[in-house]
């Protein structure tokens, strides 16, 4: 505009007039594109007014992300638990939930015309999950949870410490019932108790009460670690600072490329106790995961036990 306006007084003929008209047209076109660009990062007045009413009259907090289109809403349930809802404003009358730290629900996986509808839908979902919340909170408070680390309500499973080599895996349904209960680790003692006790599982009792009944527990055991290994392991003075294999937990391994420690692939979760992996044990792990077929040219392929990334291990690495 600063370039065009001073030239208006110098228009002396038709040719100059057409030139000026072209400049003005280019300027208007640029400004129109700029306005549209700015509008693309904004939301309509109706949504802003709705947010104002929500924050004023309801016990709900609203936050904006990097743009006005990214919205976070925090609601409380009857037990004063806080639930965060992440939204994305697509176009007027069209919002979607992008993240919600609750179990996946088909009912919530749709488009909404306003924020109020989203809040009501999530509140109903939270109400339906009351037993689910209770069971997970009870497990977290009473038991020693090995996984998930810093678990949330979105994680519908817990892995409970039983002893230095055994965890109990329990999944919780949205209705608050236990499912897919199994042991992680090798323990005939715990295995026999679980197999006989599952037949007497009482769904009228809490998950924690059932577990304590099955395993004859008065309280859940707590792990004690020493130099990265469970206290129950015989580290001794000579191996006090020894590196522990993250798969089999051994500090001394045979020269043979096959570890003498017997284990199954599912027991690899003990690898989380340490990031150190014995090459010989890792090779056996990859072979076991591929159906115990001999590795081609002595090279086994598969997924890392700790980070699940694709890896390759060769017999020559030993």
In a domain, 307, yes or no: yes
Number of domains in the chain: 4
In a domain, 154, yes or no: yes
In a domain, 219, yes or no: no
Residues 172 and 187 in one domain: yes
Alpha carbon of residue 10 to chain centroid:
67
Residues 123 and 171 in one domain: no
The beta-strand segments (E) located in 120-252 are: 145-147, 157-163, 166-172, 178-185, 225-226, 229-230
pLDDT tens-place string over residues 175-215:
999 999 998 887 888 988 898 888 888 988 999 999 999 99
- Interval 287-294 mean pLDDT: 71
Range of the domain at 72: 45-128
The SS3 of residue 56 is helix
Residues 82 and 24 in one domain: no
In a domain, 180, yes or no: yes
CATH number assigned to the domain comprising residue 94: 3.10.110
Do residues 318 and 299 lie in contact, with contact meaning Cβ atoms separated by under 8 Å? no
93 φ/ψ sector (left φ>0, alpha ψ -120 to 50, else beta): left
- Interval 260-269 mean pLDDT: 36
Do residues 126 and 82 lie in contact, with contact meaning Cβ atoms separated by under 8 Å? no
Tell me: cis bond preceding 165? Omega within 30 of 0 counts: no
Per-residue pLDDT at 255 exceeds 50: no
Query: Is residue 237 very low, low, confident or very high in pLDDT (cuts 50, 70, 90)?
Result: very low
* Closest listed residue to residue 285, CA positions, set 300, 275, 307, 272: 300
Q: How many CA atoms lie within 13 A of 45 on its CB side?
A: 0
Query: Is residue 136 very low, low, confident or very high in pLDDT (cuts 50, 70, 90)?
Result: very high
Residue 104: CB partners within 8 Å, gap ≥ 6?
none
* Closest listed residue to residue 198, CA positions, set 184, 215, 186: 215
Query: Is residue 65 very low, low, confident or very high in pLDDT (cuts 50, 70, 90)?
Result: confident
Per-residue pLDDT at 109 exceeds 80: yes
Give this prediction's pTM. 0.58
Residues 49 and 123 in one domain: yes
Among residues 76, 98, 128, the one where a domain terminates is: 128
């Amino acid at each position: 505009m600063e370039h065009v306006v001073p030239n208006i007084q110098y228009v002396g003929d038709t040719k100059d007039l057409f030139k000026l008209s072209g400049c003005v047209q280019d300027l208007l076109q640029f400004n129109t594109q700029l306005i549209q660009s700015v509008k693309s990062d904004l939301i309509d007045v109706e949504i802003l007014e709705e947010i104002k009413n929500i924050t004023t009259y309801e016990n709900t907090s609203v936050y904006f992300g990097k743009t006005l289109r990214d919205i976070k809403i925090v609601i409380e349930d009857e037990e004063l638990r806080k639930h965060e809802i992440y939204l994305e404003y697509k176009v007027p009358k069209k919002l979607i939930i992008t993240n919600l730290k609750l179990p996946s629900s088909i009912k919530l996986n749709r488009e909404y015309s306003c924020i109020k509808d989203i809040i009501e839908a999530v509140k109903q979902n939270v109400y339906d999950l009351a037993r689910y919340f209770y069971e997970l909170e009870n497990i977290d408070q009473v038991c020693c949870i090995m996984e998930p680390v810093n678990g949330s309500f979105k994680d519908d499973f817990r892995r409970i410490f039983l002893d230095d080599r055994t965890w109990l895996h329990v999944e919780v349904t949205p209705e608050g019932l236990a499912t897919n209960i199994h042991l992680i680790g090798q323990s005939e003692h715990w295995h026999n108790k679980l197999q006989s006790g599952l037949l007497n599982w009482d769904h009228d009792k809490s998950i924690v009460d059932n577990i304590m009944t099955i395993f004859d527990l008065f309280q859940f055991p707590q792990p004690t670690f020493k130099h990265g290994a469970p206290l129950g392991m015989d580290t001794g003075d000579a191996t006090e600072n020894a590196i522990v294999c993250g798969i089999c937990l051994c500090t001394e391994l045979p020269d043979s490329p096959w570890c003498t420690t017997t284990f199954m692939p599912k027991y690899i979760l003990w690898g989380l106790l340490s990031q150190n992996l014995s090459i010989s044990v890792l090779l056996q792990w990859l072979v076991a995961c591929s159906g115990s077929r001999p590795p081609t040219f002595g090279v086994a392929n598969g997924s890392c036990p700790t980070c699940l990334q694709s890896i390759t291990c060769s017999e020559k690495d030993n």
